[in-house]
């Protein structure tokens, strides 16, 4: 296929690379510049999102937040200005579900299809082509783009109509945040009680408490390796979407709100760019104790 890809950050760059290795003709644009290695591998760089849309049949965007997506789609030199009938726009960013429905309506009015296809799996998942992809849109558009999704991910689900993919991603981020909080509390408790948190983690991984969060982020917490990964500021954005949507729906999400406050505490201590597993740091500050200390060292 002739594929456009806009947004080549820590997630977008490896995702685009997989498409190129899969034999597709790739047309790229990024406000920070197209990586030279992708150009050397055969991709074509363009100066605007409009030019990408003009030269591609499927246009994928991977951007940080809702306003970024709106600008890339609908600015003067945006994707919409370069579309012609029959093309497919695929937003793989994580943004607001209600805004997604409006973006889809505007793209559909141009006789083009729209898929919201946010991902889970972080930088490691993007690099290993192992992303979970949650898709909202028509079955026909999903089937057309499925060969591209298959090059970037492994668990790929058509959830429902436009906006439903973003709703699934918000739900995912609620679960991930609350699991990070649970693992952080458990390991901090174990360490403060005098047990070896590494061995406690090893024991828990053989039981019902096991999870990917305990496996991956539990290790990060014990080793205190908080380079992202997935930045706290991005998870804050996702939980803002969850809490704002909950208010619109008349729902209370009390533990989601608590997780957001812990992220906010990390941010206040200079941790906006820490990996989201560093939520542990907020709990350590509250406890005046760090994993790695010995209880006897606490005054």
Contact between residue 168 and residue 190 where contact means Cβ atoms under 8 Å apart: no
CA angle 170, 172, 175 (to 5 degrees): 115
Beta strands in the chain (DSSP E): 2-6, 25-29, 44-45, 58-61, 88-91, 113-116, 119-120, 131-136, 153-160
Catalytic: which of 13, 144, 169, 237? 169
CA angle 263, 10, 274 (to 5 degrees): 25
Write out the DSSP string of 74-114: HSTTSHHHH--TT-EEEE-S---HHHHHHHHHHHHTTT-EE
d(CA 38, CA 76): 26
Please say if 169 is a catalytic residue: yes
Place of tokens 């890339």: 72
Catalytic residues: 169
């Amino acid at each position: 296929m002739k594929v456009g890809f806009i947004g080549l950050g820590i997630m977008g760059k490896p995702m685009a690379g997989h498409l190129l290795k899969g034999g597709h003709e790739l047309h790229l644009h990024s406000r920070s510049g197209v990586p030279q290695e992708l150009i050397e591998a055969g991709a074509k760089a363009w100066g605007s999102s409009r030019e990408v849309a003009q030269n591609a049949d499927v246009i994928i965007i991977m951007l940080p937040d809702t306003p970024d997506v709106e600008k890339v789609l609908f600015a003067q030199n945006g994707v919409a200005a370069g579309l012609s009938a029959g093309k497919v726009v695929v937003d793989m960013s994580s943004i607001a579900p209600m805004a997604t429905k409006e973006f889809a309506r505007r793209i559909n009015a141009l006789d083009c299809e729209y898929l919201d296809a946010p991902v889970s799996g972080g930088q490691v998942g993007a690099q290993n082509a192992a992303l979970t992809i949650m898709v909202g849109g028509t079955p026909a558009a999903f089937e057309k783009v499925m060969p591209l999704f298959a090059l970037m991910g492994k668990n790929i689900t058509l959830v429902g109509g436009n906006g439903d993919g973003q709703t699934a991603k918000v739900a995912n981020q609620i679960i991930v945040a609350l699991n990070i909080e649970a693992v952080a509390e458990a390991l901090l408790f174990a360490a403060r009680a005098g047990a070896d948190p590494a061995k406690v983690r090893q024991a828990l991984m053989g039981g019902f408490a096991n999870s990917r969060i305990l496996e991956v982020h539990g290790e990060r917490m014990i080793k205190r390796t908080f380079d992202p990964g997935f930045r706290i500021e991005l998870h804050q954005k996702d939980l803002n979407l969850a809490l704002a949507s909950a208010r619109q729906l008349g729902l209370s999400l009390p533990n989601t709100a608590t997780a957001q406050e812990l992220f906010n505490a990390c941010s206040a201590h200079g941790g906006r760019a820490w990996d989201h597993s560093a939520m542990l740091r907020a709990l350590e500050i509250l406890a005046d104790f760090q994993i790695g200390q010995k209880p006897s060292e606490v005054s």
